[in-house]
Amino acid sequence: MKALRWLVVVAVLIGVVVVLRLTVLAPEPVAVRVAAVERGTVEKTVTNTRAGTVDVRQRAQLSPQLGGLVVELPHREGDRVARGDLLLRLDDRVQAAQLELSQRSVRSAAARADEACLAEVLAEKELGRTEALHSQGIASDQVLDTLRTDRDRSRAACEAARALVAQAQAEAALTRVQLELTELRAPFAGTVAELSTEVGEYITPSPPGVPIPPVLDLLDQQSLFISAPIDEVDAESIGPGLEVRITVDSRPGASYTGRVVRVAPYVLDQLEQNRTVEVEVEFTESESVAGILPGTSADVEVILDRRSEVLRVPTAAVAEGGRVMVLRGGSLEERSVSTGLKNWQYTEISSGLEVGELVVIARDSPDVVDGAMAVAREG
């Protein structure tokens, strides 16, 4: 009887301990950040290892081919110009005077050529009449020979005069080119980015073979592209035509589409611990990127593969070895899953999870272990 009472007491104590353990002494459930397993698109992507740079296809630092005094600058920094527009004019009075002199020389040479060639025509006619008289025995051989010589001399004089006309025309053409060189015109449509001279300043000529330092920077903002370094291990998976997602630092939150247009045929090895391949990407929406400045930092995400309507979870939820932590019925359950495509944002789940299940996306506490009591937290 006494033993029975002790058994009852022990049973009651054990029950009290169990109740206390499940109520008052029960550990607080760990709060975890979770995300629901869903269906959506997953892409396999490659991103640049260091910041890329926005650049332009058409950019030229321009200078006149002649030295001289600047007399006209029709456009200032920031102005949009069309191809062929005048950008700079030098004092051209000397070249204009030389052209006028050359043109007068052409007219003078042409007049002398007309005179010489008329003399040839006259000599030819005189020779013809004398040949007729010679055939009748009236004109002597000596007279005929003299007239033939005069005819040949007149013909040579006509040809020489015509050659002088051609020479004068060539000199006039040269002078015209020299006059044109006093003007600097836009080789393509673009924007004046920088101007380093002013009206009234003198541009110093350079020695033969040495270009005059640039005085104007022209760029075409419609020819934007991105140059970005990609890790050498990803080089063989990238090729022209692949779709790209682009972000630029000057427009946070905005994303643009593009295409790979060039992959460098060599690896840059200046940084031995981070060898990269330069990839060039062009925007496919030229209107939406208007105003982005060359030189801006940019990032590219090359899309290698894409699958739609597949199970996916945030990539942060998948631990090494394909393990995920599932919140189910107030407790955590660790599972092994099979994965497919993945990027920094999402990972495809081939098996091991179902739509709607909650997976932990941040194991930021040592209490996040298999079997632990847990609750979902916001944020």
Same domain, 187 and 331: no
Q: Is 186 strand, coil or helix?
A: coil
Maximum alpha-carbon separation in the chain = 183
pLDDT tens track, the chain, 379 positions: 556 666 655 565 665 545 445 454 456 788 889 999 999 999 988 988 888 999 998 999 999 999 999 999 999 998 999 999 999 999 999 999 999 999 999 999 899 888 888 888 887 887 787 777 777 777 777 877 787 887 888 888 889 889 999 999 999 999 999 999 999 999 999 999 999 999 999 998 888 878 889 999 999 988 889 999 999 888 889 999 999 999 999 899 899 999 999 999 988 876 556 788 999 999 998 778 878 888 899 999 999 999 999 999 999 999 988 999 999 988 989 999 999 998 888 999 999 999 999 999 988 888 888 888 988 886 5
Same domain, 202 and 235: no
Range of the domain at 70: 63-90+182-219
**Can you read off the two tokens belonging to residue 362?**
């941040």
Res 24: pLDDT:
46
Same domain, 126 and 231: no
Domain with residue 71: its CATH number is 2.40.50.100
Domain with residue 302: its CATH number is 2.40.30.170
Domain boundary among 219, 244, 271: 219
Res 3: pLDDT:
62
Domain boundary among 169, 198, 219: 219
Beta bridge partners of 324: 335
Amino acid sitting at position 343: N
Q: Which of 155, 164, 56 is closest to 110 using CA atoms?
A: 164
Q: Give the 3-state secondary structure percentages of the chain, helix then strand then coil, rounded to 5.
A: 30, 35, 35
**Can you read off the two tokens belonging to residue 241?**
């035509």
Res 290: pLDDT:
79
Domain boundary among 272, 306, 340: 306
Same domain, 186 and 248: no
The total number of structural domains in the chain stands at 4
DSSP per residue, 281-303: EEES-TTTTTTPPTT-EEEEEEE
Same domain, 199 and 167: no
Q: Which of 111, 64, 115 is closest to 92 using CA atoms?
A: 64
Q: Which of 199, 229, 196, 200 is closest to 215 using CA atoms?
A: 196
Res 31: pLDDT:
87
Res 20: pLDDT:
47
Instruction: Report if pTM > 0.75.
Output: no
Same domain, 67 and 210: yes
Is 12 inside any structural domain? no
Res 299: pLDDT:
93
> Judging by beta carbons within 10 Å of its beta carbon (0-12, 13-18, 19+), is residue 276 exposed, middle or buried?
buried
Is 1 inside any structural domain? no
Amino acid sitting at position 195: L
